[in-house]
Every structure is written in structure tokens, then in C-alpha cells.
Amino acid sequence: MLSVVDLEKTFPAKGNQERVPVLNGVSLSVEKGEFFTLLGPSGCGKTTILRCIAGLETPDSGQITVAGTPLFSSVKNVNVPANRRGLGMVFQSYAIWPHMDVAENVAFPLKARPRNSRLSKKDMDRKVDEALSKVELSHVKRHRATDLSGGQQQRLALARALVMESPLTLFDEPLSNLDAKLRDGMRFELKRLQRELQITAIYVTHDQVEALAMSTTIAVFKVGSLEQIGRPRDIYETPASLFVADFIGTSNFISGKVTGQEGTGVFRVETAVGEVLAMVTSDRPLPAGTEVTVSVRPQDIGMVKEPAAVRGVGRWPGTVRAREYLGEYVDHFVDVDGTNIRVRTGARTSVGPDTEVVLSLEPGYSTLLPQP
């Protein structure tokens, strides 16, 4: 459906003639019906990619193809204007026309088509009604768009994108202006609509939870480059780099050295808190003595009250120094020989400060990340 090949983009720097690279040869492919998320921190280039696909920015080089049609190619000297690409887009601010009612907002992209491809009024009204029905806004068809709630305005912006019957729909952080409770509800609604209507979606966000909950595929970006691409579970459980492990969710990072290999993809590592058996996520050779970082999710560490315990592989005595009650779970901060380890337990488990405990980590529940 979408192919992006070797996309390069720079912007002029302030106060001099130099240009700042924003995209560094990005390539990705999106299949029909996918919910494909571009995820990364502010300034990593994810919105620039979306705007290049939409035609709102012109890349310096590369190629963008949608459904077999080249929209941009530096080699073939192709650059289809944004208004002729036929792509639906939902903006962060929704871009609702305040002087139009709901139906007029949805009809706007149809009326803006070139005269030779414009629909009859009857067909236009039918498509508007169909789009409003899909997002359950038929009952407010003649209401002023500015009278709608935040969630309704978000659905209105989606209806305006759907009415174009585009092969590809672009979303630029559309939930960021909603409060937390409404954002959770709209996250579910967007995913439901995407599945039911078989929308091919490119979704930009910096919210890791949003990306994990909604996506079929996630592409994680770091300063203009693609760091990792894969299914949400793969991104979370087997991060390809320290950056991905740190950006997606919460992790403990423990430095150590490889002391041996215990099996396919499993290495024994000596760390400041003791020995660990960790899974590797790359094909890079890891001979004994290689410096690595072990990434461990807080919820994957077991904790029991047990004073004067014996240390072993994946078994570390420590002392609770602090705890945070966070409603659905409790984070405990455990001192293990001067190293602070975060342990996440259910809300019913709460161990007070200065309590001696033993932490346990089963093989396969930690990820071995080679240092750059």
C-alpha cells in the first residue's frame, strides 16, 4: 500500500546557511489494512515523514509510493501536489471549520475536488451521511461544529477523512488534545473503526501506551533514523537497542560483562547485583568479557520478604528503600549492593521501607543489549 524508500529531509538552521538533517534515509513499507504507528520523542522526524507523505513537505530525496502510484520521486522528478494525492488526514488540532455545521465540514473535501471530478449534490449528501453514520454523529448533522465535545470533534475530523475514501489515512497525534479519560475511550473507538472499515492508517504519536494499544506495527524513531520496526509485543519484549528499551515502558538497566553462553541466545552475565541469565536480541557475537547492558522490566522481577538470603543466579538479596502506590500497582525501589532496582507488584502487595527482601529473575525475562 505505502512504500517509502531512502527518504532524506533537511531544514535550514537559524542564523546561518547550514541545514539540519531531520530524516536520514528512512525506508518503510505498510501493507493494506495495517495500523502503522510512527513512534518517537519530539524532534525525531515522525511528523515530518507524515507531512512528506501528505505532500505538505517536500523531501530532499527519496521515493514515496501509494497503491503503486508514485507521489514523490527525486529520481523520476515526481512531486504530486497535496491536493491531488487524495489522502485523508486527521490533524492534531482537528482543523474544524467554525463557520460550518457538522455536515458541511464533512462535505468540504468533496466540494474542494477539481470541477471535472466533483460529485453531484445527491451523491455528495449520500457520502456525507455514510461517513457520519460510521462515526455515530448522524444525530448532530446540523449542529455547529464548535458546539461539539472534544471527542465528537475528533470523530468529526475522522469522518471528514473517511468521506474521501482514501487508500491511506494519516493521523497526526489526534488524541493529544483530549483529557486522559476521553483519550482512553477514543483510542478504543479509533481502533474499532480502523478494523471494521479496513482503513490503512499511518499514525504519529509520542505516547508509548497509545502505540502499544492501537498498532499492528510500530516503527520507533530516534533523531531522524529508524531504530526498530515490529509488532507491539516484539518491540516491548525484545527491544533492539538501549534507546528502544528505555523509550518503551519502564526498565531497569544493569551494566555487566558476559561470562559465558548457556544455550541458544542465552548468556550468563556478571553484574553489580549478581549473575543473570539474559536473552540476546541481536546476532552480534558476544564472547566472554564483552560489556553489555541487561534490561529488566519491573513487573518481571519477583520479590519476597526473606532476611539474610543466599545470593545465586537471578537471586539477589536487597533492602526496600522506598515505594510508590500508583493505584493499579505498587513500585518498590530496592537497594541491592548500592544498585537501585525498581520492582512492580500488584496493588495488594506493599512492602515498607527498610524491609529485607530477595529479588528473583527467571531466565528469559531479561534482555541483553550490546553496548554501542
The string of pLDDT tens digits covering residues 231-275 is 999 999 889 889 999 999 899 999 999 999 887 888 999 998 988
Based on the structure, what is the number of domains in the chain?
2
Of 77-81, 111-115, 220-224, 321-325, minimum mean pLDDT range: 111-115
Full residue range of the structural domain in which residue 121 is found: 2-242
Q: What is the pLDDT of residues 103-142, one digit of tens each?
A: 988 888 888 777 777 888 888 889 888 888 888 888 988 9
Read off the pLDDT band of 16 (50, 70, 90).
low
- Domain edge (last residue) among 242, 273, 298: 242
Q: What string of H, E and C letters represents the secondary structure of the chain? A: CEEEEEEEEEEECCCCCCEEEEEEEEEEEECCCCEEEEECCCCCCHHHHHHHHHCCCCCCEEEEEECCEEEEECCCCEECCHHHCCCEEECCCCCCCCCCEHHHHHHHHHHCCCHHHCCCHHHHHHHHHHHHHHCCCHHHCCCEHHHCCHHHHHHHHHHHHHCCCCCCEEEECCCCCCCHHHHHHHHHHHHHHHHHHCCCEEEEECCHHHHHHHCCEEEEEECCEEEEEECHHHHHHCCCCHHHHHHCCCCEEEEEEEEEEEECCEEEEEECCEEEEEEECCCCCCCCCCEEEEEECHHHCEEEECCCCCCECCEEEEEEEEEEECCCEEEEEEEECCEEEEEEEECCCCCCCCCEEEEECCCCCEEEEECC
Residues 259, 235 share a domain: no
Q: What is the CATH number of the domain that holds 316?
A: 2.40.50.140
- Domain edge (last residue) among 207, 242, 277: 242
pTM of the model: 0.85
Residue 302 has pLDDT above 80, yes or no: yes
Query: In this predicted structure, what is the pLDDT of residue 314?
Result: 86
Q: What is the CATH number of the domain that holds 37?
A: 3.40.50.300
Read off the pLDDT band of 15 (50, 70, 90).
low
Residues 357, 211 share a domain: no
Residues 167, 41 share a domain: yes
Residues 134, 267 share a domain: no
Residues 175, 74 share a domain: yes
Residues 179, 313 share a domain: no
Give the residue with greater pLDDT, 282 vs 57: 57
pLDDT above 90 as % of the chain? 47
